[in-house]
Amino acid sequence: MVSEAPQLHLVLFPLMAPGHMIPMMDIAKILVHRNVIVTVVTTPHNAARFTSIFDRYIESRFPIRLIQLQFPCEEAGVPDGFENLDMLPSLGTAV
């Protein structure tokens, strides 16, 4: 009996900044086209920026998944709802 190798599954957790999110989504696209299972972990706001990409790939039955986690704004010392570096009033707020 021949056993099949398990399908590769990668979890991508991009830094929450446009300069990281966009290339990470490009990497996810490349991987799913090569039949790698991809799970992207991000916040609801960041996930909303890529809804059309996720919807299109899920409808096409590509192996991509999305996990949304609430960002702990208070614990991070940033205003509530600020889930991406481009939402902060200044980069000094991120330090």
Q: Which residue has the higher pLDDT, 81 or 52?
A: 52
User: Cβ distance 63 to 30 under 8 Å?
Assistant: no
Q: Which of 2, 5, 7 is nearest to 65 (CA)?
A: 7
Q: Tens digits of per-residue pLDDT, 8-32?
A: 999 999 877 777 888 888 899 899 9
Beta-bridge partners for 37: 9
pTM, full prediction? 0.76
Q: Tens digits of per-residue pLDDT, 41-64?
A: 988 888 888 888 888 888 988 899
User: Cβ distance 73 to 45 under 8 Å?
Assistant: no
pLDDT for 1 beyond 70: no
pLDDT for 91 beyond 60: no
